[in-house]
Amino acid sequence: MPGANLTRIEAEERAGIVLKPIHYAVALDLTVGAKNFGSTATITFDAKPGSSSFLDLIADEVSEVTLNGVALDPATVYVDSRIELGDLKEHNEVVVKALCRYSNTGEGLHRSVDPSDGNVYLYSQFEVPDARRVYAVFDQPDLKATFDFSVLAASSWIVTSNMPVKSVTATDRTTADGTLGDHAPETTRQWVFETTPTMSSYLTAICAGPYAEWHTAYRNEDGRVVPMAQYCRQSLAAAFAKDVDYLFDITKKGFAFYDKTWGVPYPYAKFDQIYVPEYNAGAMENIGMVTIRDSYVFDSKVTDALAERRVVTVLHELAHMWFGDYVTMKWWNDLWLNESFAEFTSTLATAEATEWHDAWATFCSGEKSWALRQDQLSTTHPIVAPINDLNDTYVNFDGITYAKGASVLKQLAFYVGREKFFKGINAYLNKHAYANATLADLLGELELTSGRDLKAWSAQWLEQSGINTIATDVKVAADGTIETLILHQSAPAEHPVLRAHRLAVGFYDLDQASGKVVRTDRFELDVDGETTLVAEAAGKARPALILVNDDDLTYTKLRFDEASLDFALANLHRFDDALARAVIWLSLWDMTRDGELAAERFIDTTLRLLATETESTTFRYALACMSTAAWHYTAPARRAAVIEHVAAELWTLASAAPAGSDQQFQLATAYLGYGEEGDEAFAANARGLLDGSVKLDGLDIDNNFSWTLVNALSSVNAFGEADIDAQLAKRDTTENREFAYGARAVRATAEAKAWAWDQALNNDELTNAQLEAVSRGFAATPRADLAEPYAERYFETADWIWEHKTFHMAEALLEGLYPSYADPATLVELGNAWLASHESADNALQRIIRGNVESSQRTLDVRDYNAAL
């Protein structure tokens, strides 16, 4: 990574020298072998005469650099991932020919070989600054340009890019050995694409390979017919064909919703979605051609939570076509504008334009819980984060940028009024079309349409870190009516800002006829400062539960009054509304994480909830958080009994759940995470499900669930190397190889951990997905004796990882290999010593380490709280 960084100051200086219009003609040769590809970039741009600047490029070899007709010595001008350009003219042309390298890390141009049929698939991933891994470029978002792409590829491949194909021509070239994996060389074709509109380099894209394809079209609001396509690997085509029509329909609903909501028709020539293997992110909003991880191609049963998440992801990336692509941030400090807006509006579209009507409950349980977790670390940052260089950007794809930002935008829309909010968005999009903009530009338009001064709002919500807590204080008269209801707002000492909230307070009571807890009253009000009186509550009957932030309209932690807390713990499963359940459950979990609610009380409430919960994402996160509470937060003396109790309850619940239901599937999967070596009943259940001797009616033991069982058995040493090899031999696919790596790494032996540690650090042939599987398996075994030998080694190795791996691989290793089951006190001591000796280390590296160490500190504190009860 050293040398590949770019500071904000450098970017600003370059933007002052390199002037528009900028145009790229990029020619890629994908026929030269399995390791490299040829790249020729011809760039025309204006500049201040006599000035100097540089291009970004990461390449194995640069063979030619020609500036304004003068050949430059590549050995002299290509240094430290940059090509120096001196003595620039008013009008300039530079030609760079290079040999670039395919990646197996999901960065740049990723090359994947599908073992099921030997087919080779390529796709690009350029965010944050990885277009430079494919062609020479001014790789920063504000130097927008137009692009002409041409690609030489094997005749059996299709090639896609941001724009429609202009021409495809057969050539007399053939592919070199290895280009097509084990397939024999073949003839080639030249693909030429239409010129792009003005756009940022990180949004350009190229995909190539023998992808399966489906096509349709959408009639845009402006009358244009927009071609649409979906692509995936051939080995997934049969499974994907079952969902293609549904996904086309979801996408068309998104087009219609965004067109209507923003008043700006889809601005590009086509819209493709291509599902690609071994993807680091969920998806990427390349203009006209979104890349999506192909784990969203469902070849086995998945949770409803994941099925809904796929819909949100599709609509999230579609939203980016307007917000992020059509209008793009000037620098990465406004990354949140892209991601928060897409997250907010995709949830809105999911709730209002699809069958997933409880999408805001999903958002609360899933995304918002992510934000709350990260906002309580010392590594938190303002939504508008200070981004000094690219490394700062990498670590800002986090819960603050996505989930907190989206929650705050939901608050803003409620604060100014939905109609006025989207009227402002319309003005913003039209004013800055195909250009770059800043937060100030957005707030300026919203101020004009809403009539509100948003500078104070921005200062509180966007420019300050941390989260507030709103606590309920209620006084009840002798006749059971409320005398006063007061809301107390507080802030952590390190972020002492009290914010203005527009929220609702809901009253909930048990309806005797239905047995459900329902809302009986609701008040909307502004909360500002330390205390706020809810005047409308006076004289009303005291309800069973008072829910501040009803409908989840603001972003805050909640603390219930004592009676409401007791009622919530006993009756959460009876609440009729999915969003109310999600808000209450998240607050109970937050109290548990803060050492204010006994872990075992939280676990018991969660188990009761799981017997009736129907909202899949709340179900999923309840299971995950209960696992954290059981394995990490309970008193050590009670842990074995708690684990045994939870496992038994999960098996009972799974056995009683409706046959074939999402609940049954999630409960059975969760049960398989509670195995311990020597638990013969657990091993018998898992092995019986795998071989068919144990059955849960309706539970399909398909490919992925079979591997879940293999992983569970391996984790308790009831499945050996030969067993794993035999399972993989049944169906050798990209996904199953990843499962097999994870199953080998999760084995509860010192030898397995040593193997996994070595593979993760030293096997450069592992793909990004395989490396992540090994890392997860390494750290997942809940035995301190296997984790503790790696506590010291982890901190000794952190610097080497950062220096020798690309960012995404370094992040995967530093987070995945953290031995969280080691003694938290030891991890905290070692971690604090590392941080004290690394004050000058890269900020992004410090943030990753600090986040891990503070998680261990929380585990230690909460464990001690529960032990003292």
By annotation, the residues acting in catalysis are: 317
- The neighbouring-strand residues paired with 84 are 54
Contact predicate 793/827, CB 8 Å = no
* Angle, CA 742 vertex, CA 737 and CA 743 arms, to 5°: 95
Tokens of 210: 């023998």
3-state secondary structure of 432: coil
Q: Extract the tokens encoding 720.
A: 């050996």
Contact 371, 555 (CB under 8 A): yes
Tokens read off for 198: 């003005």
Q: What are the helix and strand counts (H, E) for the chain?
A: 30, 29
Distance CA 142, CA 131 (A): 14
Which of 92, 79, 94, 95 is closest to 40 using CA atoms?
95
| Stretch (H or E) spanning 626 | helix 616-628
> Tokens 């006025």 sit at which residue?
420
Q: Are strands 327-329 and 435-437 parallel, antiparallel or unpaired?
A: parallel
Among 612, 606, 659, 656, smallest CA distance to 634 is for 606
Collapsing DSSP to helix, strand or coil, 145 comes out as strand
Residue type, 118: G
Asked if 363 and 406 touch (Cβ cutoff 8 Å), the reply is: yes
CA angle 650, 655, 657 (to 5 degrees): 90
Cα separation values, 730 from 703, 707, 725, 727, Å: 10, 12, 9, 5
Read off the tokens for 270: 């086509």
Yes or no: say if 482 and 537 are a contact pair by the CB < 8 Å rule.
yes
552 φ/ψ sector (left φ>0, alpha ψ -120 to 50, else beta): left
φ/ψ (deg, to 5) at 80: 55, 45
Q: What is the phi/psi pair of residue 36, to 5°?
A: -125, 165
Contact 452, 467 (CB under 8 A): no
Q: Please name which of 67, 18, 60 lies closest in space to residue 39, comparing C-alpha atoms.
A: 60
- Collect all residues with Cβ–Cβ distance below 8 Å to 260 and sequence separation of at least 6: 221
> 809: Cβ–Cβ under 8 A, 6 or more apart, which residues?
105, 768, 771
